[in-house]
Amino acid sequence: MYRVFYYAQRDLLRWIRAPLNVVSTLAMPAAWLIFVGLALPTRFTDNYLDFITPGILVLTMLSAGLSGGSSLMFDKILGYLNKFLAMPSPRESILFGKILFITSRGLIQTTIILLIAILIGATIQPIYVYPITYLILFLFGILISSFGTTIALYIGEHDTYAAVSTFISMPLFFTSSALMPYSEMPDWLNVCAHLNPISYAIDAVRSVGAGTFPVFEMAFLLSASFVMVLISVVIFRKITVR
Amino acid sequence: MDGIITNALTKNYGSLCAVDSLTLKAENEIYGLLGPNGSGKTTTVRMLTTLLSATSGSAEVCGYDIAKEKSQVRSCISYVPQDMAVDIRLTGRENVDLFAKLYGIRDKAERKRIVADALEVVNLTDRADSMTKTYSGGMKRRLELAQALVHQPQVLFLDEPTIGLDVASRRTIWEHITKLKKSGMTILVTTHQMEEAERYCNKVGIIRRGKLIKEGAPAFLKADLKKEIITVKSDGNLPQSLPEGVTFIETNESGFIFSADKGSNVLPELTAAFEAEKSHVIYSSVREPNLEDVYMQSCGDDRGDNIPFDDRQFRNLMTRR
Ligand SMILES: Nc1ncnc2c1ncn2[C@@H]1O[C@H](COP(=O)(O)OP(=O)(O)O)[C@@H](O)[C@H]1O
Ligand SMILES: [Mg+2]
């Protein structure tokens, strides 16, 4: 299983050496933070930035996970996958390496976003908040990157996947609890937000900040990511053994 | 048995039979699988490297069954696919090092040595620390060869290793392949280049539409043909009737190509046949057959289904004038 790390290391190296990719994936969440977090007039809180930061952190992971989903598909299209599959190492380590890479990359990006948030005025939390926040984001990252990877592998085409991932991420973000508390939502949005898996991650990060350990949300994320990884293993096996 | 044995290996894609009852054997040699585009070479290699499961039939690689002992098969082979795939943002050394790690060489010092050796074998030591982005096509192919060598495979699969390369790079690749064979490796190479197969392979299997139609040493295949090749350049069309014992093979840029047992004996008759239809023979020649002729006789006009330009139709148009 140590090969999982080698695969992830390869991808991280390739990513870090393309500086434009690194910057471009950060542009969106940073813009949200600055333009919406700082500028939006709100009634329910005097520090909207503090309210929106958990949502933006999760958004960062969401877009990192979905955009990373195409990575394994590209390896397949460009022929790397065939070379890896002909090796004696367990084939699943290719998939797990990919999930690990996308999630770690997402964590690096959320760290940068978190630093920007603090820089522009978000409140610094007690130190114990951060490891738990990272754990939540990690679980959410596993969920979303295995989801993206599976969908992309299944679709198999780069532009179709790009369309699908935009189609998924926008509504998911806007119908979550990212932008406003449940109490401020119209009824229909309230229902959507409660059903939305993104809300679980956001609510979890918020409750850590408020001083409670989000047992229910964590349990949800843990089981959802476990199931999602299982599904991706099944699809991956199907795609690789013909 | 260290090499490859296949027994009626077959692969269907729906109703299309891509590989049809292929039976071949290769051991301690360079085996060239020669055939036009779409004849089933890649499909064969993918089955033998356990990337694709066979519809029926069986095969053994290094004595392991490709269906039942996939991971043992994978532990004794290396595979360089047709499409070049090296990480352009990694250096040559990093590319090879990645493979060494994935092949399970965990000792750092040992890995460093093995990677350096593999790079040395393919003459890439000088450029090992440059980004692969800056490599030429031939260098990338050699780098892929180095990646394949880090775990010292018993059987090496190379799918069209020289495709898209210039003449000098092709030569270099083949020289490396020849060197590897001398070290005792079994190498299965696919190609659609007759001259390369003739010059470098110990054994050649000609495959057409998934069927192995001829197999043997290049010299043996040529001897088998026993015929001589006649080329005729004329200002007219192909005669309606040809003299006894003359077979039309194809029309190419040098003219009409025929084969006959004794070329020089039938040449006058053939010339007469042209003149009987009011065309003149501008030039004619007789020569010994080469592997290309064996190939053309076996594969005929079948130049592959991937070429959109149908020259058969074109030829009809030309002759109808
Ligand atoms: N995945 C596939 N699905 C359907 N048909 C395929 C697939 N791969 C190859 N083929 C068909 O199988 C035949 C053999 O292809 P291939 O093995 O790639 O030939 P070669 O490598 O000799 O050019 C071709 O007719 C090709 O169109
Ligand atoms: Mg091919």
Mean predicted confidence (pLDDT) in A120-124? 87
Q: Which atom in ligand 1 lies closest to the alpha carbon of residue B39?
A: 22
Q: How confident is the model at residue B136 (pLDDT cuts 50, 70, 90)?
A: very high
Atom index in ligand 1 nearest the CA of residue B210 equals 14
Is B88 part of a structural domain of the chain? yes
Mean pLDDT rounded to a whole number for chain B:
86
pLDDT category of residue B1 using cuts at 50, 70 and 90: low
pLDDT of residue B18 exceeding 90:
yes
| pLDDT at B299 (0 to 100) | 65
Claim to verify: residue B65 and residue B210 sit in the same structural domain: yes
Q: Whose CA is nearest to atom 8 of ligand 1?
A: B43
Residue B237 lies in a domain: yes
- B114 plus B13 within the same structural domain: yes
Say whether both B213 and B237 belong to one domain: no
- Kindly report which listed range (A210-224, B190-204, B306-320) carries the lowest average pLDDT score: B306-320
Q: Which of B10, B12, B15, B16 to mutate to test the pocket of ligand 1 (most atoms within 8 A of CB)?
A: B16
A84 pLDDT higher than 90: yes
- Virtual CA dihedral for A172, A178, A179, A184, nearest 10 degrees? 100
Confidence of residue B223 (pLDDT cuts 50, 70, 90): low
Q: Is B201 a domain residue?
A: yes
Inform me whether the pLDDT recorded for B176 exceeds 70.
yes
Domain termination site, one of B204, B222, B240? B222
Of the candidates B222, B249, B277, which is a domain's last residue?
A: B222
Contact with chain A for residue B104, Cβ under 8 A: yes
Locate A151 and state its tokens.
Answer: 């969908």
What would the pLDDT profile of A190-207 be if each residue is shown by its tens digit?
Answer: 999 999 999 999 999 999
> Do both B251 and B203 map to the same domain?
no
Rounded percentage of chain B residues whose pLDDT exceeds 90: 55
Min distance B26 CA to chain A CA atoms (Å): 20
Tokens of B56: 């029926």
Question: B43: Cβ below 6 Å to ligand 1?
Answer: yes
In this structure, are B266 and B128 located in the same domain?
no
Contact (CB<8Å) B78/A79: no
Return the residue matching tokens 């290996």. Answer: B9
A19 or A185, which is more confident: A185
Task: Output the pLDDT for position A29.
Answer: 85
| pLDDT at B107 (0 to 100) | 93
Q: Does B80 touch chain A (CB under 8 A)?
A: yes
B41 lines ligand 1 (CB under 6 A): yes
Residue B307 forms part of a structural domain: no
Reading phi first (left if > 0) and then psi (alpha if -120 to 50, else beta), residue A110 is in: alpha
Question: How far is the alpha carbon of A18 from chain B, nearest alpha carbon, in Å?
Answer: 8
Which residue, among A213, A15, A10, has the nearest Cα to B95 in the 3D structure? A10
Residue B174 belongs to what H/E stretch? helix B167-182
Q: Which long-range contacts (CB under 8 A, 24 or more apart) does B247-255 make?
A: B249/B293, B249/B296, B249/B297, B250/B296, B250/B300, B250/B301, B251/B315, B255/B231, B255/B283
- pLDDT for B308 equals 39
- State the pLDDT at residue B204: 92
**What is the model's pLDDT at position B282?**
87
ipTM value of the model?
A: 0.89
Number of domains in chain B: 2
Taking the C-alpha atoms of residue B71 and residue B66, their distance in angstroms, rounded to an integer, is 9
The answer to whether residue B87 is domain-embedded is yes
Q: Which domain holds residue B145?
A: 4-222
Mean pLDDT over each residue of chain A, to the nearest integer: 91
Residues B182 and B237 in one domain: no
Q: Report helix, strand or coil for B182.
A: helix
Q: Is residue B303 part of a domain?
A: no
Query: Cβ separation of B102 and A6 shorter than 8 Å?
Result: yes
The answer, yes or no, to whether residue B13 has pLDDT greater than 60, is yes
d(CA A82, CA B49): 10
Residue B67 falls inside a structural domain:
yes
Which residue is closest to B132 within chain A, CA to CA? A14
B167 and B273 within one domain:
no
Boundary (domain end) residue, out of B207, B222, B237: B222
Task: Classify residue B205: in a domain, yes or no.
Answer: yes
CATH number at residue B109: 3.40.50.300
Q: Are residues B212 and B251 in the same domain?
A: no
User: How far does the CA of residue B152 sit from the closest CA of chain A (Å)?
Assistant: 12
Q: Are residues B145 and B283 in the same domain?
A: no
Amino acid A27: pLDDT: 85
Which two structure tokens, joined as six digits, stand for B188?
């299965």
On the question of pLDDT at B305 being above 50, the answer is no
User: Which residues in chain A are closer than 8 Å to B98, comparing Cβ atoms?
Assistant: 6, 10
Residue appearing with tokens 């192909």? B238
Residue B16 CB–ligand 1 contact under 6 Å: yes
Instruction: Look at residue A123 in the predicted model and tell me its pLDDT.
Output: 87
B148: tokens are 């394949």
Give the Cα separation of B267 and B196 in Å (integer). 30
Q: Does one domain contain both B83 and B124?
A: yes
Whether B176 and B92 map to the same domain: the answer is yes
Whether residues B62 and B203 share a domain: the answer is yes
Which mutation among B39, B55, B190, B306 tests ligand 1's pocket best, with the greatest number of atoms within 8 A of CB? B39
Q: What is the pLDDT of residue A184?
A: 86
